[in-house]
Amino acid sequence: MRRSKSDQDGNGATLYVGRDAAAELRAIHGPDASPGARVFGLRTGKAVSKRIGKAAKAAGLVGRFSGHSPRIGMARDLVASGAGVAAVQVAGRWASPQMPSYYVRAELAGDGAVARFYGEE
């Protein structure tokens, strides 16, 4: 990734992309695209959010979706599969554990002190 709002110095980041997602991205990008070309041709966060919202609606999903929806969804999936907040923080490139903890609060509730007290973990 060339840059993001959390990359104040503009250094970019190397991120993991699964095989299925990589194949889909290659199909979208096209075989003749230059390596530095934008995959989706989108320049603003608003355009990304609109694209994600339309895709969610086409898939029959209801609710609000934005450019952050995939990032939040991955955080929730990671915690549901056993990852800790620290690992999610690193994977999502959050500067502090505050935001990933907020996003995964529902998944964490089942592992919390009250669940342990009642032996329902």
**pLDDT class of 100 with cuts at 50, 70, 90:** very high
Q: Confirm if 40 and 59 have CB atoms less than 8 A apart.
A: no
Average of per-residue pLDDT values in the chain: 84
* pLDDT-above-90 percentage for the chain: 33
pLDDT digits (tens, 9 = 90+) for 7-19: 777 788 788 888 9
- Which tokens go with 32? 């003749």
pLDDT of residue 121: 61
pLDDT of residue 72: 93
Q: Confirm if 88 and 100 have CB atoms less than 8 A apart.
A: yes
Query: Three-class SS of residue 75?
Result: helix
Which residue has better confidence, 66 or 98?
A: 98
| Angle 39-88-40 from CA coordinates, rounded to 5° | 10
Summarize the confidence of residues 21-38 as an average pLDDT.
Answer: 78
- Which tokens go with 96? 């502090």
Packing angle between helix 85-92 and helix 69-80, nearest 10 degrees?
150
Summarize the confidence of residues 103-109 as an average pLDDT.
Answer: 90
pLDDT digits (tens, 9 = 90+) for 43-81: 777 888 888 888 899 999 999 998 889 889 999 999 999
**pLDDT class of 101 with cuts at 50, 70, 90:** very high
